[in-house]
Amino acid sequence: MKNTNEKVTYNNVLTFWANQYPEVERWLSHLQVKERNALALYNFCKWANKTPLELLALKAQDASVNPPPKTVEKLLDDFVASHAFTDIKTFQGSIAVKSFFKWNYCDLAKAAGAVTYEKVKPYNKLTKEGLRKLWSYALNPRDRALITFVCSTAIAKETLTNLKWLHLEENWENIDLPCINIPSELLKGHGRGKYKGVRQITFLTPEAKRDLMNYKEWLERPQKLNRKLTLQDYMWLETSKPYRRIGYGTFGMLIFTLSRNAGVPFSWHDARRWVNTALEQIGISQNWARKIRGRKVRGEEAPYSQPAIEQLRAKFREAVPLLEFTSETKTETLKERFIVAYHKRHPEATQDEYEKAWAEYQDLQIREGIRLMTEDQFKVLREVQRKLKKRKKEKSIPKPKSKKEPCTNAQHCEETFKQVPEEELLTHLKEGWKIIKELKNGEVIISR
């Protein structure tokens, strides 16, 4: 390895260490989180006192011997057993070393570098009051939008760095629960091997949509970007020029600082647990929950068609009251409005009948491909229904028939049709006759 007194850190590991090894650069080109993995490989190389090239040479020497002595695998086992680093750094180092050899086409044995450790610190127990405090401590519209966004969508930190506006549903500003459709390349596994074809289908709660719209408007102001955001723009940007997209490490530091200032323990992964807990409480199926979290779905071939998305949206709606936290006022769901309206028309109905009617309504929505209404759309629909009902009532009232004055011209009343020559046509048209048919002989049949 290169001898130097300068310390290799997360921020300089790429430029100072990784870029001097083409084999390391080739490996990192396949990864989404480069700095963390590069630093993990660097820690292993420093511990083993080997360069990446020397590690690959050891593996090549093993291949020339039969049976191969598994030198690198044993070295990795010794690294894990040495306890030279914390459990998490040892785990990251083992994963990075195996990944490095894999992308240089000389895989290590699967059993090498196995790490087992127990979680000592318990998961953060999130509450609506705590999340509300965390959200209120956010210093700008971007950070507020980020909090409600991840607590609605369960999108992982690695995916956030590459998320673009094009991943939002078309016309999302006018949809009450907008869908976010993320391809496998941006998710865990990056669409390779068993992760091929995996997509994340998730949704924005009304408060998450509100904060995202505020953030977008704030970014487009003259004091910031001074332009309209395009579909190809990254969603989460730094708040000062040149407004680069937020990196993986910056995301971690951002939430660490905000959590410390608010006095509310929170991590981006806590947001995924927040969403999953809400989904479990509404009794969603495991496969549907895995779709929303962006994990591989078991036993389904093509679960991401439009009808499947509409079914997910309808089920996700039930979790909205559990997910939202920025206001103490309870959000009234469409289901609750539906049951209130149904009760007014059928006051004797039982709870089972309410549920049955709601299920039939949802089936109709999904079958017809109609999205559930927003609050404004609901008000407009009720107003239209009221006007139509009033108009129908007015039409049902019979109007008095006007009495016709008796005709004094007997010849006028008897004459209904006439066949006249073309030169007399103008005179008859002035008297109220109309053309019925033109004849080949030049005459015209007219009618009064």
Full pLDDT tens readout for the chain, 448 residues: 454 557 888 889 999 899 999 999 999 988 877 888 999 999 999 999 999 999 999 999 888 888 888 889 999 999 988 878 877 888 888 999 999 999 999 999 888 888 765 555 556 788 999 999 999 999 899 999 999 999 999 998 888 999 999 999 999 998 889 999 988 888 776 666 666 778 888 999 999 999 999 999 999 999 899 999 999 999 999 998 899 999 888 888 999 999 999 999 999 889 999 999 999 999 888 888 888 888 766 655 445 566 678 888 888 999 999 999 998 765 455 666 677 777 777 777 776 777 788 777 766 654 444 444 445 555 555 666 677 777 777 766 666 655 555 555 545 544 577 888 877 777 777 787 888 877 767 787 888 7
Residue 356 structure tokens: 């049955």
Residue 263 structure tokens: 């006095």
Q: How confident is the model at residue 86, as a pLDDT?
A: 78
Give the three-class secondary structure for 436.
strand
Taking the whole predicted model, whether its pTM rises above 0.85 is answered as: no
Domain ranges within the chain, ordered by starting residue: 13-102, 128-323, 334-389, 410-447
Neighbours of 95 (CB within 10 A): 15
Please give the CATH topology (third level) of the domain spanning 128-323. Answer: hpI Integrase; Chain A (1.10.443)
CB 27 within 8 A of CB 45: no
Residue 216 structure tokens: 């977008």
Q: How confident is the model at residue 33, as a pLDDT?
A: 77
Euclidean distance between CA atoms 240 and 257, whole angstroms:
18
Phi and psi dihedrals of 106, rounded to 5? Answer: -145, 75
Euclidean distance between CA atoms 310 and 308, whole angstroms:
5
Phi and psi dihedrals of 202, rounded to 5? Answer: -135, 180
Give the three-class secondary structure for 245.
strand
DSSP label at 173? G
Q: How confident is the model at residue 264, as a pLDDT?
A: 92
CB 296 within 8 A of CB 197: no
Q: How confident is the model at residue 344, as a pLDDT?
A: 73
Q: How confident is the model at residue 121, as a pLDDT?
A: 57
Residue 139 structure tokens: 């210093």
Nearest Cα residue to 106 out of 187, 11, 26: 26
Residues 3/6/7/12 CA torsion (nearest 10 deg): -100
Residue 180 structure tokens: 């976010």
- Tell how far CA 409 is from the center of its chain: 78
* Number of helices (H), then strands (E), in the chain: 19, 5
